[in-house]
Chain A
């Protein structure tokens, strides 16, 4: 049984901590992880299998842990699926197990295990097809789920940081530390990221000796040197979860795991490195045998690490089983720590000479050419059945031994995940029985990730890699590596079989997190899946949140053996980001709530606020929708404002209206190519409305073009299209028509724009001192004058989007608030009203004016909105012209813009579908804009209707969810169709 050792460990025994595990108090020391503390208290069941709910214990001591997934905290700070092996103990922490009901020790879900023959790999693909998968999905998710997500808003602060460096080193073990120190000494800017909460990894064990001193002394020296340098950033508790093109990487720093009180819980580092060096180490693999998922069966390296680093013995009597040399080191360390190790089982024929001798001297029996075949015990390991491997790896005899912990080592799989994410090629190493990077490609790899076994090899390899990195960085001259000299026995990289080919009656587990067995892979192979990517998807092996860190290699080797083909041919799976799960909050960073997206404020924002504007966010702008008076509903305010504009005068803040200056000798030719109507013929001082198309003939924006001078135009666009149209202009100017001398300058926010509309608008403007003549004869509709207005520079438009006499006063933005205040003050005697965007949209709807993007979509061409004749009249070429001649664009049954009226509003709402008389199914169009018009006195709408313009006077059926009604097709201009009022 697991217990705390009396001495040793890298823990602080003077600092006692405690946390609660499923309500039970667990004592620990500073430096413990949740997993080490649970093992020390002999908590052997820490989770339940996802599919069969079998009891599971701690398997590993690191990031690869598939079993010990726990829920931390409660309420808003709840964190599910934390790996207990990676979470340092914090005093008072609440930790709970997952996926078990009613309790971890007695889980009714175990019934799935008893009926396991009914649930083989891919069962849901074959059986849950009727009535549909979604019928079963909720139940499956409840029984097979991981930890529940938090239900409350996360109060923690997350942030994203951009960082640059010459060399990003992932992993601060022996290779990473040596490479970092060397690179920093050479003057490179280095970021060193370590997923553990302290650097050193393998070197933290007390038995590691470097330069005749404990290795930890060397680690401290290197870290001290790095801390003194301004060229390096050392990040602990930081996982490089993604490596992308051009050596950019995503790192997740867990500040909540440290002892400090950072205001930030997690930090997402977006690193752009000139080079990346992966010193990510290797992950020990399990042996494959019957019931190898029983609590007490652990990885040998983990058993060793718990003893060395946390002073925790995994059991009283620990057996080791291996196919490589590394378990011999574990045996020596365990004996040194006072743990009984009666037996070491090695699947190879040859025992390593020096290591074998040392192990035997410790009184440990070594059995060669043998492997475990089944674990004994119900909910925890009680003993082990061992088979001697005969010729062809067939089991020839069996022996049983009593033990309460097994340290198994099925070889080491280099942690090539990040390397693989960049699509780095891998080759299968027959000696080590694993995939390794083939050479010095990009990114560079060093240490165990390349397959090194001893510290000596690791330091040599790190020296080689960092020399290469320095050369690629252009560092000239000799940079000494100064690798320490380890005191360690010689070791071989030779790995033997990880599985005795005698399956017996017990299930052999490959993927502990997704409950995949050898039988599942056998079924996949029997069903004809031949490539590992297919086998993976059929069995789900390697598809859990651990991404198969302890299962991919064994799955591959088993599948290859079954298919009797070399592993290289079966292939390796492709790893994808993230290497370990990433909190969504970290990816969002501070881009949440108020900071989700920038908010643009009008120059007179404070004035609108003072008028209690009802705000509407449109295109990033905070815009007044309307200005409800006390106790007035918004729709009543809109009706009141619209009526006031029709009868008197209203003012509207139109500052977001896109404004682009187009200057240069060829400005007229340039603009003429963008608009469906002629712009080159525009006279100075005049304004023309136009439609802009893309190459497909689809309407993408509309607005006015005003000519200030021969070579100077001002274009207005929709508010949402201001940036897009300027970019569209630039693209054509720079890429297609570079021969034209023309300049494009967006000036939207340079000018505040206040629209004054209504029959008394000229009267209101007359209250201001200006050098611009306002009378209708001198300043007709669709004109522009530059001058001064109330002492400010001004561009005064006479245009109208309301259908009334209207002006748009443009003054430099700093005068916007003052102009707004002055218009309201001077207009008081005219009963002026401020009106908002919703009111404006009602006014334009009454006039039948187009709202691009609302009344049109990504397929609407000018012919559909009644601009066919204008397009046909223009002789000069323009963008989209050719597409208008396509037969499809000229079909008479296309969706065409029409007006609709109805006796009552009912289903006459935007989005309601239309059905022509005589049709019973489908849709013949839809309503694009609708309102109850105060001016017209009844509900009105604009709609796109199949062959609409030929259907004036017809009745169509309206369908809106469960509501149904009828409407009459009418011309789109409902109010003052002759346009007499705006010419007033």
Chain B
């Protein structure tokens, strides 16, 4: 028998890279990120403010996010999503473990289940509004807001990074479909059609 296969090479669901759809709209598939889903038990939620992940407290406001890297999004009353471009999932799991010690919690690596797509530009909200029922006005969906919601019939976690940039965490299996959907939706938004 030949030498045993020792190493499998990982492959992302969509190749990372950006596309300029027009003067006012950019679409990018971000490089793979580590994503850990943290769940807290009922009692632990009461003092969740004391929990620190990588030195920062968990965001407590509903549908809010904080941090640079890792970014922590509160996606449900008992759930936080920890996202990092720099740290591997193992480090995030360790951070969750040490931050939540002696508390009732569970952490799961879901990095491979997620693909991050960024949409940026003054018309980003116009594209999103074609598939999502949320109010994207700055008043309702400010720069510290994230939401677990539906976009183009898909469950996504949507985060407003700044005034004109949104990042979408979508399931790996549907990422290509959503990317195509965003390109299509943009054709009605960008004057003269997209350059895609």
- Interface window among B18-26, B52-60, B65-73, B173-181: B173-181
Is there contact, CB below 8 Å, between A749 and B10?
no
* Bitwise interface map of B from 81 to 123 toward A, beta carbon under 8 Å scored 1, else 0: 0000000000000000000000011101111110000000000
Q: Closest 6 interchain pairs by CB?
A: A743-B106, A814-B10, A600-B173, A164-B135, A813-B112, A791-B7
Task: Using A590-B130, A590-B185, A749-B173 as known contacts, say yes or no to A767 and B2 having CB atoms under 8 A apart.
Answer: yes
Give the residues in chain B near A769, CB-CB below 8 Å.
4-6
Is there contact, CB below 8 Å, between B108 and A815?
no
Q: How many residues of B contact A (CB 8 A)?
A: 51
* Bitwise interface map of A from 195 to 237 toward B, beta carbon under 8 Å scored 1, else 0: 0000000000000000000000000000000000000000000
Residue A818 contacts which of B10, B42, B113, B152 (CB distance < 8 angstroms)? B10
Chosen A-B contacts, 25 in total, with CB atoms closer than 8 Å, are A157-B188, A162-B130, A162-B133, A164-B137, A189-B137, A263-B193, A591-B153, A595-B152, A595-B180, A595-B184, A598-B174, A598-B178, A601-B13, A663-B106, A665-B104, A743-B105, A745-B108, A747-B108, A750-B108, A769-B6, A790-B5, A790-B6, A814-B10, A815-B9, A819-B8
Is there contact, CB below 8 Å, between A767 and B10?
no
Is there contact, CB below 8 Å, between A160 and B130?
yes
Residues of chain A from 621 to 679 with CB closer than 8 A to chain B in the complex: 621, 656, 661, 663-665
Q: How far is the CA of A649 from the CA of B106 in the complex (A)?
A: 38
User: Which chain A residue shows the least CB distance to B35?
Assistant: A750
Is there contact, CB below 8 Å, between A750 and B111?
yes
Give the residues in chain B near A435, CB-CB below 8 Å.
none
Residues of chain A from 733 to 788 with CB closer than 8 A to chain B in the complex: 738, 741, 743, 745, 747-751, 766-769
Residue B154 contacts which of A598, A602, A792, A813 (CB distance < 8 angstroms)? A598
Give the residues in chain A near B184, CB-CB below 8 Å.
590, 595
Give the residues in chain A near B1, CB-CB below 8 Å.
766-767
- Distance from A785 Cβ to chain B, minimum over Cβ atoms (Å): 17
Q: How far is the CA of A621 from the CA of B180 in the complex (A)?
A: 16
Is there contact, CB below 8 Å, between B6 and A791?
yes
Q: How far is the CA of A27 from the CA of B109 in the complex (A)?
A: 70
Q: How far is the CA of A537 from the CA of B74 in the complex (A)?
A: 54
Give the residues in chain A near B162, CB-CB below 8 Å.
none
| Residue among B32, B135, B177 facing the most chain A CB atoms (10 A cut-off) | B177
* Bitwise interface map of A from 806 to 826 toward B, beta carbon under 8 Å scored 1, else 0: 000001111111110010001
Give the residues in chain A near B140, CB-CB below 8 Å.
164
A25 within 8 Å of B (CB atoms): no
A270 within 8 Å of B (CB atoms): yes
Is there contact, CB below 8 Å, between A745 and B37?
yes
Residue B130 contacts which of A161, A817, A826 (CB distance < 8 angstroms)? A161
Q: How many A-B residue pairs have CB under 8 A?
A: 145
B132 within 8 Å of A (CB atoms): yes
Q: Could you list which residues of chain A lie within 8 angstroms of chain B, going by C-beta atoms?
A: 157, 159-164, 189, 263-264, 270, 272, 589-591, 594-595, 597-603, 621, 656, 661, 663-665, 738, 741, 743, 745, 747-751, 766-769, 789-792, 811-819, 822, 826
Is there contact, CB below 8 Å, between A743 and B39?
yes
Residue A163 contacts which of B4, B129, B153, B177 (CB distance < 8 angstroms)? B129
Q: How far is the CA of A598 from the CA of B150 in the complex (A)?
A: 12
Give the residues in chain A near B173, CB-CB below 8 Å.
600-602, 621, 656, 749
Task: Taking A745-B39, A768-B5 as given, write out 4 further A-B residue pairs in contact, using a Cβ cutoff of 8 Å, ordered by the A residue number.
Answer: A157-B188, A162-B134, A743-B41, A814-B10
Task: Using A590-B185, A813-B113 as known contacts, say yes or no to A598 and B129 having CB atoms under 8 A apart.
Answer: no
Is there contact, CB below 8 Å, between A822 and B5?
yes
Is there contact, CB below 8 Å, between B4 and A767?
yes
Is there contact, CB below 8 Å, between B10 and A812?
yes
Give the residues in chain A near B180, CB-CB below 8 Å.
594-595
Is there contact, CB below 8 Å, between B108 and A263?
no
- Distance from A651 Cβ to chain B, minimum over Cβ atoms (Å): 14
Q: How far is the CA of A814 from the CA of B11 in the complex (A)?
A: 5
B171 within 8 Å of A (CB atoms): yes
Is there contact, CB below 8 Å, between A597 and B6?
no
User: Which chain A residue shows the least CB distance to B40?
Assistant: A743
User: Which chain B residue shows the least CB distance to A814?
Assistant: B10
Is there contact, CB below 8 Å, between B181 and A595?
yes
User: Which chain B residue shows the least CB distance to A602?
Assistant: B173
Residue B8 contacts which of A164, A590, A597, A822 (CB distance < 8 angstroms)? A822
Is there contact, CB below 8 Å, between A664 and B104?
yes
Residues of chain B from 23 to 64 with CB closer than 8 A to chain A in the complex: 32, 37, 39, 41-42
Give the residues in chain A near B137, CB-CB below 8 Å.
164, 189
Task: Using A603-B13, A664-B104 as known contacts, say yes or no to A792 and B187 having CB atoms under 8 A apart.
Answer: no
Task: Using A600-B173, A741-B104, A749-B173 as known contacts, say yes or no to A811 and B4 having CB atoms under 8 A apart.
Answer: no
B172 within 8 Å of A (CB atoms): yes
- Distance from B143 Cβ to chain A, minimum over Cβ atoms (Å): 18
- Distance from B30 Cβ to chain A, minimum over Cβ atoms (Å): 14
- Distance from A200 Cβ to chain B, minimum over Cβ atoms (Å): 27
- Distance from A760 Cβ to chain B, minimum over Cβ atoms (Å): 13
Q: How far is the CA of A814 from the CA of B113 in the complex (A)?
A: 9
Residue B187 contacts which of A263, A589, A751 (CB distance < 8 angstroms)? A263
Q: How far is the CA of A554 from the CA of B8 in the complex (A)?
A: 79
- Distance from A165 Cβ to chain B, minimum over Cβ atoms (Å): 9
Q: How far is the CA of A812 from the CA of B104 in the complex (A)?
A: 26
Q: How far is the CA of A263 from the CA of B140 in the complex (A)?
A: 30
- Distance from A251 Cβ to chain B, minimum over Cβ atoms (Å): 13
Is there contact, CB below 8 Å, between A598 and B153?
yes
Residue B176 contacts which of A601, A665, A818 (CB distance < 8 angstroms)? A601
Is there contact, CB below 8 Å, between A767 and B110?
no
- Distance from A769 Cβ to chain B, minimum over Cβ atoms (Å): 4
- Distance from B191 Cβ to chain A, minimum over Cβ atoms (Å): 10
User: Which chain A residue shows the least CB distance to B133?
Assistant: A162
- Distance from A246 Cβ to chain B, minimum over Cβ atoms (Å): 12
Give the residues in chain B near A272, CB-CB below 8 Å.
133, 135
Is there contact, CB below 8 Å, between B113 and A750?
yes
Q: How far is the CA of A766 from the CA of B110 in the complex (A)?
A: 29
User: Which chain A residue shows the least CB distance to B176?
Assistant: A601
Q: How far is the CA of A410 from the CA of B178 in the complex (A)?
A: 55
Give the residues in chain B near A750, CB-CB below 8 Å.
108-113
Give the residues in chain A near B135, CB-CB below 8 Å.
164, 272
- Distance from B25 Cβ to chain A, minimum over Cβ atoms (Å): 15
Is there contact, CB below 8 Å, between B10 and A815?
yes
Is there contact, CB below 8 Å, between A813 and B172?
yes
Give the residues in chain A near B132, CB-CB below 8 Å.
162
Is there contact, CB below 8 Å, between B112 and A263?
no
User: Which chain B residue shows the least CB distance to A596?
Assistant: B153
- Distance from B12 Cβ to chain A, minimum over Cβ atoms (Å): 6
Is there contact, CB below 8 Å, between B111 and A791?
no
- Distance from A657 Cβ to chain B, minimum over Cβ atoms (Å): 12
Is there contact, CB below 8 Å, between B13 and A818?
no
Q: How far is the CA of A600 from the CA of B174 in the complex (A)?
A: 5
Give the residues in chain A near B108, CB-CB below 8 Å.
661, 663, 745, 747, 750
Give the residues in chain A near B4, CB-CB below 8 Å.
766-769, 790
- Distance from B11 Cβ to chain A, minimum over Cβ atoms (Å): 5
| Residue among B4, B10, B130 facing the most chain A CB atoms (10 A cut-off) | B10
Q: How far is the CA of A598 from the CA of B153 in the complex (A)?
A: 7
Give the residues in chain A near B188, CB-CB below 8 Å.
157, 159, 263-264
Give the residues in chain B near A164, CB-CB below 8 Å.
135, 137, 140
User: Which chain A residue shows the least CB distance to B42?
Assistant: A738
Give the residues in chain A near B193, CB-CB below 8 Å.
263
Q: How far is the CA of A812 from the CA of B4 in the complex (A)?
A: 20
